[in-house]
Amino acid sequence: MIFFLETLQVLLLSIWYNVEALIYCVIPKRRKNVSGEVVLITGAGGGIGRLMALEFAALGTTVVLWDINQEGVKETARLAKENGAVRVHHYLCDCSDKNDVYRVADLVKREVGDVAILVNNAGIVTGKKFMDAPDSLIEKTMEVNTMAHFWTYKAFLPAMIANNHGHLVSIASSAGLIGVNGLADYCASKFAAVGFAESVGLELLATGKDGIKTTIVCPYFINTGMFDGCQTKWPRMLPILDPNDVAKRIIHAILTDQVFLLMPKTMYLITALKNILPMKQGILLGHYLGAFNLMDTFKGRNRKRD
């Protein structure tokens, strides 16, 4: 009897959730008000981090900026003030160093207050094939792209749990969903970031903390300089993304509590196909899409940090 009732409940709710999803395709979700909230963005010294900071500033938030680049984060702070942020605080923080993350997090809690929206954006890429990548760079990739998320969550999640209010944002990558030739360490770090963020989100739901939302962002290559030199075989299908457009889409996803955001939209189809196609057909599709040669012309920037 219990099996029958639970199965019926699942079927009915499944129908409703699909109907709801179709409705939202026609009628956009209402955007939540984040005015006055404290938003912390790592890797805010440039690129997507800076652009997100400016978007949040225009929404009347208090913006907290972290980066290892002092000049870059100062410039972002200046621009955020001009863009309407209620308050702007910037800190020099090495996200690869757990002790530094905890130290600066304590400063933020004392000087600014509880963080309501945490955006883990800091990231690096070696751009080398696995056997050519020095151990130190592989370790640094994992420390910045993955482990930093653990430490920022540890620092700021307790206050969110106490208030049952907050939003955790992970800027991951499409390389965190599909392996890419020449990006073994980067893919590993982003796969881990996606798995970590998704698991913590489920943990929060299981403990009744449904006021804490999560958004996992998985974009294709973005034209910020981080992946300079990389070319896409079919730009209409898999374009190099415009940073301003990406930042706006991320903010919209946060404001509408969207759990997963893949960019471009073709990534939803490619990811689904990866999981259902035979391996040989998947490899064939990878060759067709140019996935085996994406990194052949990689240059990056001199300081490979986003």
Catalytically active residues are: 186
Alpha helices in the chain (DSSP H): 2-26, 47-58, 70-82, 98-111, 135-142, 148-163, 184-206, 243-255, 266-276, 279-289
* Cβ contacts of 205 within 8 Å, gap of 6 or more: none
Q: Which residue has the tokens 């457009």?
A: 245
CB 94 within 8 A of CB 43: no
Task: Note whether 68 and 44 are within 8 A (CB).
Answer: no
CB 267 within 8 A of CB 218: yes
Distance CA 106, CA 88 (A): 17
Q: Residue 201 is encoded by which pair of tokens?
A: 């989100």
Sheet architecture: strand order including 212-219 = 87-92, 62-67, 38-41, 117-120, 166-171, 212-219, 260-263
Whether 116 and 166 have beta carbons less than 8 Å apart is answered as yes
Number of helices followed by number of strands (H, E) in the chain: 10, 7
How many alpha carbons lie under 13 Å from residue 232 in its C-beta half-sphere?
14
Which tokens sit at 230?
């990389």
